[in-house]
Amino acid sequence: MRTTSLTFLFSAFLCAAGCSDGGDGAGETGGAGATSGSGGAGATSGSGGATTGTSATTGSGSGGAAASTSSATSGSGGGATTSTSSATSGSGGSSPAPARVPAASASTLREAGEKANPPLLIGAAISGGGLNDNNYKRVAAAEHNYVTAENEMKWDALEPNPGQFSWGAADNIVNWARSNNMKVKGHTLVWHSQLPGWMNSMTGATQVEQAMRRHIENVMGHFKDRLNHWDVVNEAVLTDSDTGVGNPRMRPTVFFNALGERYLDLAFQIAREQDPTAKLYYNDYSIDARNEKADFVYEMVKGMVERGVPIDGVGLQMHIGPPNNEAGGADVAYNLRRFADLGLEVLISEMDINRCGDVVTADEQLTYYHDIVEACFVMPECVGITFWGINDGRSWLNSWSTARCNGRSSESLLFNDQYQKKETYNRVMDALLGR
């Protein structure tokens, strides 16, 4: 159990990087590859579809991401007021922008995000299977304006054989999202999991670099006119525990083993070559709490920024509870703030809070939902919050072996299986409305 006082949360928000915590900054960037760990390909899923692309025309969609230099005035509704603390790290050294101003009222999460000043993207992971269910589709489109394909844009789904691409399942999701004025974040270009076997067993720097380049060029090229947010590299860092504790190090993936840590720089550079204006993100789990992994990823990303690597932001996945970390609002505020102080956007990119095993109690779950959403909401640099699914019954956690669910529901999301709003939904709405 971890308690989070609102006062502490706001003081973390008002405090620029390095002004309080003494326990971070370990940062052995470029740590040598370790021996243990997974590296194995994850579950297969999705894919299948046809090969032709049905390119829709360009369109901006709704709910544009907030610029980090928002001119919103602070004020009513519970936001923190103008901060004068000066950032010590990263580009510019400017003060944090004034707090986001909430809408006066809203009947959906999407509306609350769109009416906030600056707006906040409200996202959901969407599965191809879910889109066969009319209730799922109705709730997904009414409540969200930002989509991440849960599995359909991963390497194994898009490039099952070398140089042979399969776009059908991903196109279905992207086109459905766009027909509902939702933005899409491509997820994910370079990741050790859900790699096809041929890629996972590849060796040799030249071969791996060529394969990575071909994948990024083809995938970004196919979707170029339809989406401009990308998770470029996912989960490059490993610790002994899934909770982000113990021996943080670069994960020994096919990419790291062949190219070393420079594969991250390379992936972002290749992605930037494909799209000069796309938002390019690094994304990881268990960097939500104050832990060794969060410190290590901070130092890794800081190094990228200092080297001029074209990275635009960092996604904190926010899988709270088993098997991942437990973080309160103040922890999350601290981590969001230090990444933002590098001159980056930040996102909550895959939020769910697992109740299995009662590791997180029902009350804690409600507090976490409110306080974590609030931690992002008050920061204009936090441009989106994505929930990892719509309804409890479809959560990945229910069948994930280390999530302690053993087939029962993780009760981790905002809607029950009749698509009714849960109390978790109400707490999220409260935070989005500054309550």
Of 193, 239, 335, 365, which lies in the binding site for ligand 9MR, with binding defined by CB under 6 A?
193
Three-class SS state of 47: coil
Three-class SS state of 382: strand
What are phi and psi for residue 152, nearest 5 degrees?
A: -75, -10
Nearer to ligand 9MR, 308 or 407 (CB): 407
CB 100 within 8 Å of CB 378: yes
Nearer to ligand 9MR, 235 or 292 (CB): 235
Binding-residue pattern over the window 304 to 323 for ligand 9MR, x denoting contact by CB under 6 A: -------------x------
CB 289, min distance to ligand 9MR, A: 16
316's enclosing H/E stretch is strand 313-316
CB 343 within 8 Å of CB 91: yes
CB 396, min distance to ligand 9MR, A: 3
Using the rule CB under 6 A, give the single segment among 37-45, 59-67, 169-177, 262-270 that binds ligand 9MR.
37-45
Q: Which of residues 377-396 bind ligand 9MR (CB under 6 A)?
A: 396
Of 111, 114, 143, 150, which lies in the binding site for ligand 9MR, with binding defined by CB under 6 A?
150
The CA distance from 28 to 30, in Å, is 6
Can you list the positions of beta strands (E) in 48-197?
A: 121-126, 146-149, 183-190
CB 72 within 8 Å of CB 177: no
The CA distance from 217 to 229, in Å, is 15
Three-class SS state of 282: strand
Rg from Cα positions in the chain: 20
The CA distance from 422 to 410, in Å, is 13
Using the rule CB under 6 A, give the single segment among 15-23, 40-48, 244-252, 336-344 that binds ligand 9MR.
40-48
CB 204 within 8 Å of CB 161: no
Q: Which of residues 55-114 bind ligand 9MR (CB under 6 A)?
A: none
Of 24, 111, 171, 350, which lies in the binding site for ligand 9MR, with binding defined by CB under 6 A?
350
Residue 235 bears catalytic tag: yes
Nearer to ligand 9MR, 70 or 194 (CB): 194
CB 43, min distance to ligand 9MR, A: 4
What is the size of the binding site for ligand 9MR (CB under 6 A)?
Answer: 12
Nearer to ligand 9MR, 70 or 234 (CB): 234
Residue 306 bears catalytic tag: no
Catalytic-labelled residue, pool 143, 152, 299, 350: 350
Interacting residues of 140 by C-beta distance below 8 A, sequence separation 6+? 124, 126, 130, 390
Catalytic-labelled residue, pool 111, 143, 209, 235: 235
Interacting residues of 279 by C-beta distance below 8 A, sequence separation 6+? 65, 228, 229, 230, 312, 313, 345
Nearer to ligand 9MR, 156 or 341 (CB): 156
Q: Is 253 in the site for ligand 9MR (CB under 6 A)?
A: no
Q: Which residues have a catalytic role annotated?
A: 235, 350
Question: Where does this chain bind ligand 9MR (CB under 6 A)?
Answer: 42-43, 45, 150-151, 193-194, 234, 285, 317, 350, 396
